[in-house]
Amino acid sequence: MLPLSRKILEHPFHNQHIAHLEKSTKETIEALSSGPVRKYIADHENSDIRKIILKHKEILGIPTTQLLDQISTRRKAKDKLPLYYHNDGVVYPPPENFEQSSSESTAVFKSNLVRGLPNSGSFKGADLSGGFGVDTYFLSRVVQTMHYVEPQRSLLDLAAHNHRLLGAANIEYHNTTAEQFITGADTFDLIYVDPSRRTESKKKIFSLEESQPPILSIADIIFSKARWLMVKASPLFDIQAGIRKIPFVSEVYIVAVNNECKEILFVSEKGCLAIPQIKAVNIDPSGTTNMFTFTFEEEREAQIAFSEPRTYLYEPNAAILKAGAFKTVGNRHRLQKIHPSTHLYTADQDVGQFPGRTFLIEALVRPEPAELKKYFPDGKANVTTRNYPVAPEALKKRMGLEDGGEKFLIGFSGQKKKYLAVAKRV
């Protein structure tokens, strides 16, 4: 296996002189990863950045704003990318690149998906949207060879530096565009693309047609050279539009972490014409994955009964709600829906293993502070609403409550009237 530096030199698809780092980029990476600078960054992890900016223009020979970007981004990495955070010498990219990069939990999830494909250990894969290189790195751990493609040289140098620190020895680097690379490249088993969600002027992008790399215009070339394609999209993206536009979609994963939707993954297998499986995934703090699988056809054909609130109240997790399995999730667990537009469900019994939150209703109450006082004597409650005319913050203020405690106050609309439920988690 070639050492990292030799791979950059010897791979035939590289631009001329790709082995030589741009002087400014090389010097910046060396400076930011040096011992004194890393110590300063670690020592000031919780410092007030504004005060440091006011006091210094330069620290340890580095512009203060650049150094403080490293401190600020490293703080975010503590939860988002703990492996990077705990690895001394890692250098972070500009904030917009870090924002789009996958979290460690979602990157591991993707690598586990690839691990489950036939013969994945011998795969030759390519990430056509290299960026900070988080997905490239985690995918490299489950395939034989991974190719990183990035037109911005400074990001490539940064990713290569961090990959080397993390022990990756099977990644090859290409300083070119996705279109140029895939047109001139050999065959692959897997292509991964995370199209940029912002234009060069920082405007947000919500469609695949506007994104870079232009995944739709190069899809035919990709499938002439690869069996598998994985496309990452924003959690705001229209799932059914993706299925219509991306060829051969076999599975769609809506990935939530701690009940917050993070990304949508479209997995395509060349030649697949089957109805796509929709898989709503929630990864909890322990790393445990809960997955709910259905098809849009199943959801369209499903019929569900409705009921006013009974003993238990059920709220699906964020991935299921984004996926739109509104009737299917109720039917699978033999629940009744509260209202067509209120995505809460009810039953007289605890059905167990529900993919979301389960509440035991203690009382249905009037929206009057005096009445709520006996249920929340300390004035603390966890307030939430579904299809209710008052937002949680406004309801909390109106009822004279503060955040906290073990009980919940849940506002929602039933078919006959609006409800306020005092409840506790089961």
Task: State yes or no: pLDDT of 272 exceeds 60.
Answer: yes
The residue range of the domain holding 105 is 100-294
Residue 154 included in any domain:
yes
Q: Check whether residue 138 and residue 252 sit in a common domain.
A: yes
More confident residue, 15 or 421: 421
Q: Check whether residue 214 and residue 321 sit in a common domain.
A: no
pLDDT at 200: 67
Q: Check whether residue 112 and residue 249 sit in a common domain.
A: yes
Query: What is the rounded CA–CA span in Å between residue 144 and residue 251?
Result: 24
What pTM did the predictor assign?
A: 0.90
pLDDT at 7: 41
What percentage of the chain has pLDDT greater than the value 90? 82
The distance of Cα 2 from the centroid of its chain, to the nearest Å, equals: 32
CATH code, domain carrying 118: 3.40.50.150
Q: Check whether residue 108 and residue 229 sit in a common domain.
A: yes
Q: Check whether residue 172 and residue 44 sit in a common domain.
A: no
Query: What is the rounded CA–CA span in Å between residue 75 and residue 41?
Result: 10
- pLDDT tens readout for residues 1-21: 333 333 433 333 333 333 334
pLDDT at 199: 65
Instruction: Of 94-98, 254-258, 276-280, give the lowest mean pLDDT range.
Output: 94-98
Contacts of 99 (CB under 8 A, 6+ apart): none
What's the whole-number mean pLDDT along residues 48-59? 83
Show which of 63, 83, 99 is a domain's final residue. 99
User: Do 346 and 310 meet the contact criterion of CB atoms below 8 Å apart?
Assistant: yes
More confident residue, 318 or 19: 318
Query: What is the rounded CA–CA span in Å between residue 321 and residue 329?
Result: 10
Task: State yes or no: pLDDT of 362 exceeds 50.
Answer: yes
Residue for token pair 């019929």: 303
User: Do 125 and 192 meet the contact criterion of CB atoms below 8 Å apart?
Assistant: yes
For residue 48 the two structure tokens come to 């007030």
Position 66: which residue type?
A: Q
For residue 100 the two structure tokens come to 């789009």
Q: Check whether residue 111 and residue 223 sit in a common domain.
A: yes
Beta strands in 194-241 (DSSP E): 226-233
What percentage of the chain has pLDDT greater than the value 70? 93
* Residues present in the chain in total: 426
Residue 131 included in any domain:
yes
What's the whole-number mean pLDDT along residues 235-241? 94
Query: What is the rounded CA–CA span in Å between residue 150 and residue 8?
Result: 13
Query: What is the rounded CA–CA span in Å between residue 242 and residue 248?
Result: 11
Report which of 302, 267, 270 is spatially closest to residue 281, judged by C-alpha positions.
267
What's the whole-number mean pLDDT along residues 225-248? 96
Domain count, the chain: 3
Show which of 269, 294, 319 is a domain's final residue. 294
Task: State yes or no: pLDDT of 56 exceeds 90.
Answer: no
Q: Distances from the Cα of 42 to the Cαs of 20, 26, 38, 75, 96, in angstroms?
A: 30, 22, 6, 10, 22
- pLDDT tens readout for residues 370-392: 999 999 999 999 999 999 999 99
Show which of 79, 99, 119 is a domain's final residue. 99
pLDDT at 201: 66
pLDDT at 279: 98
Query: What is the rounded CA–CA span in Å between residue 91 and residue 73?
Result: 10
Helix axes 35-43, 64-80, angle to 10 degrees: 70
With DSSP H G I counted as helix, E B as strand and the rest as coil, what are the percentages for the chain, rounded to 5?
Answer: 35, 30, 40
Under the phi-then-psi rule, with left for phi > 0, alpha for psi from -120 to 50, and beta for the rest, what region is 334?
Answer: left
Beta bridge partners of 283: 257, 289
